[in-house]
Amino acid sequence: MKRHSISLFCVLVAFWLLNSGHYGFLLLALGIISISFVLYLTHRMDVVDHESQPLHLTHKVFAYHLWLIKEIFHSNIDVLKHIWRGQLTITPTLKTIKISQQSDMGKVIYANSITLTPGTISVDLENDEILVHALDASSLEGLELGEMDKRISKLEQI
């Protein structure tokens, strides 16, 4: 809990300083006042925890992001090809996919990664199934091979 508050404080300070760009006394004092107000509010709302500040993912999440950027790049090119070739080349498919993540965090990361990748949208998320709509059946096959699933499961383990 304490770690999470400190991390939230650091993020807010960085956010204020980078957005304001003025370092006079008045603006810094206003910054401190609003940051402490936000900290008080978030504690009162009881939202400062491992879900809003996922510190336990920090050391692994960057490798995953790099891999995700590569995937997004590839699927962008696929969807662009479909756009220019016209709607006869697309095969829209709706299918449920089993997921192996246990925590809510892992499930949300998986569903968001699916939606962020162009060509696939997660329509619905129930217990351990995601309903995915895909522009092209081949991109669903890629998901069913489960590489993204494996990587997120690895990410999830502390």
Partner 1 sequence: MDLVISISSGICLLLGSFICVSGSIGLLRFPDFYTRMHATSVTETSGVALILIGLMILSPDLLVFAKLVMILLLGLLIGPTTGHVLAKAAYHNGLKPKLTKSGNEQSSVPSSERGGDISKS
How many residues belong to the site for partner 1 (CB under 8 A)? 37
Query: Positive or negative, the Cα torsion across 36, 37, 38, 40?
Result: positive
Query: By CB under 8 A, what part of segment 94-113 binds partner 1?
Result: 94-96, 111-113
Interface residue with partner 1 among 34, 52, 58, 91 (CB under 8 A) is: 91
Residue 18 CB, nearest distance to partner 1 (Å)? 4
Stretch that binds partner 1, among 1-9, 48-56, 127-135, 142-150 (CB under 8 A): 127-135
- Bridge partners, residue 130, by sequence: 97, 125
Alpha-carbon distance values, 22 to 13, 29, 31, 157 (Å): 13, 11, 11, 42
Residue 85 dihedral angles phi and psi, to the nearest 5°: -85, -15
- In the chain, the amino acid numbered 96 is T
Stretch that binds partner 1, among 23-31, 40-48, 51-59, 68-76 (CB under 8 A): 68-76
The 3-state secondary structure of 35-49 reads HHHHHHHHHHHCCCC
Query: By CB under 8 A, what part of segment 14-53 binds partner 1?
Result: 15, 18-19, 21
Task: Say whether residue 10 binds partner 1 (CB under 8 A).
Answer: no
- Bridge partners, residue 120, by sequence: 134
Task: Say whether residue 76 binds partner 1 (CB under 8 A).
Answer: yes
Closest CA to 92 of 82, 103, 105: 82
Residue 6 CB, nearest distance to partner 1 (Å)? 21
Task: Say whether residue 92 binds partner 1 (CB under 8 A).
Answer: yes
Round to whole Å and give the CA distance between 16 and 75: 35
User: What is the binding site for partner 1 (CB under 8 A)?
Assistant: 15, 18-19, 21, 72-73, 76, 79-80, 82-84, 86-87, 90-96, 111-113, 115-116, 118-124, 131, 133, 135, 137
